[in-house]
Every structure is written in C-alpha cells, then in structure tokens.
Amino acid sequence: MTATTASLQPRRGRNLSTELTRDPELIEAAQRLRYRVFSEEYGSDLGATIPGIDADAYDAACDHLIVNDADTGELVATTRILHQDDTASVGGFYSRGEFDLAALEALPGTLAELGRTCVHPDYRNGGTITLLWSAVAEYLVQRNVTHLIGCASISMADGGAKAWHVARLLQQQHLSEPHCRVTPKRQLPHLAHPESERSVDIPPLIKAYMRLGARVCGEPCWDPEFRCADMLVLLEVSNLAGRYSRHFLRRPA
C-alpha cells in the first residue's frame, strides 16, 4: 500500500513529500536511516542481524510513513504506525515489552502505536517534523484512531543524567491523568539519578509530541539495547492542541 499524502518545502532548495507504504524496498531504506540515526546517537549496534539495517518483527505488521527529498531522491525521515487491528501477528504493541499497558489498553476507542521515529540530522527543522506529523494525523483520522501511544527516547550516552533530567521535566509539565499511568518493566539505573539540578534540552521530536498535546504516562523505562531511556507518551487524537488540530484534522464535509 503506497499513497502520497502531503508535500511541503520547509527550506529553500528542499522539496519534501510523504508516503504511507508497506513496500519492502522503501521499508529497507527506512531501516537503513533508522540504523544510521540510532546507532550514531545511542551508540548501539541495535542487535542488527544485517549490517546497517535496523529491523524487527514489528516492521511487517506496521504501516510506514516516509519523508523523501524529491531533489535528491533521499529518504530523510521515517516513522512506523502499528494499528490495534494489526497487533495479533506480533503479540501486541512494541511498548508492551517495556511497560505494563493495562491502563491504556482499557481506554475506550482504538489505539495505535507510533515507533522508530527518526529524522536525518540535516533535516531536523520545523518544516520536516510538521510534514511528518501532518501525515501521521491524516492516518489517525482515516483509521479512526482515538489514542496514539509511543516510546519517546532520550539518549543515555552521558550515563543517564540528561535522560533523568528530561524525564523529570516532562513529568512536571506534561504528566497524564492518574488513570492513564503505566509502569516500566525496567527502571532507570539508580546511578542515572542527577545529583544537582541543571538546564535540559528536550529532544526536538519529544518537543513536537508535547506541542501536539501529548502527555507522558509516568516513569521512564531503561532500554539497554538502544542505550536510552523511554518515556511512554499518550496522545488523545480529539485533543490535538490548537493550530495543529485546525491544520491537520480538517475533515471533509
């Protein structure tokens, strides 16, 4: 399944477009970008069985959103979406391996999970991320998704201090309601706790989640394979914040 969903030129000289796909060749290109970004930023080999490719069993069950630069032919951003209706073949959502999702799976409506989101370092600007989210939002409406979940990752390359500070800031400013809390299956190592307060730089993709009205659902989980801390994020589709709701969710009359 492949369909062009949007186009935008976030910077002069860059002509970007999105596709929703299950095409194996396009998925492999996305997997190569994922490997490049995640291995460089998290310092992990990701347990790759094929050098240079980040792949797992969930890829076959997901719809993949990709962003291409039409001027260069390069795939520059990607994310994958696992719809609740497609989880049977993989035994549930990916984040179930990191968190007890019982509270979220009990919510009314339909769940989908966003995962493996990454953007090429040269394209990390508001235009690219906005374009990616526009395509995600269109998918959510078309598939009647009411709640979107996902793991927002924070590098632990410094031993975990940054991850712990970012997690605390997100919990202070963007914590979910108590009935939407989850419990991590692997808590951050105690030595990751900061000894003093410091300013933090929230990763751009997590900032984008929060601007959309997302909330974090409790404590972070330690992901030793990716060498990062994961925050479980919940977005209620009907409550997409302000201009994002008006821009992304204009349904046809």
Least confident of 36-40, 69-73, 215-219: 36-40
Residue 116 is assigned to a structural domain of this protein? yes
Phi-psi region of 2 (alpha: psi -120 to 50; beta: other; left: phi over 0): beta
**Ranges assigned E (strand) in the chain:** 2-8, 16-21, 63-69, 74-83, 99-100, 111-119, 147-155, 183-184, 215-216, 221-223, 228-236
Strand partners, 171: none
Most confident residue range from 87-96, 204-213, 220-229, 232-241: 87-96
Q: How far is CA 2 from the centre of its chain?
A: 21
Residue 253 is assigned to a structural domain of this protein? no
> What is the overall mean pLDDT for the chain?
86
Residue 61 is assigned to a structural domain of this protein? yes
Q: How many domains does the chain have?
A: 1
Is the model more confident about 2 or about 86? 86
Range of the domain at 150: 2-248
Residue 49 is assigned to a structural domain of this protein? yes
pLDDT at 166 over 50: yes
CA–CA distance, 122 with 87 (Å, rounded to integer): 34
Model pLDDT for residues 52-69, shown as the tens digit of each residue: 899 999 999 999 999 999
Mean pLDDT, rounded, for 138-150: 93
Model pLDDT for residues 173-185, shown as the tens digit of each residue: 999 999 999 999 9
Percent of the chain surpassing pLDDT 90: 56
Query: Which ranges constitute the DSSP H helices of 143-228?
Result: 161-173, 204-211
CATH of the domain at 110: 3.40.630.30
pTM as predicted: 0.87
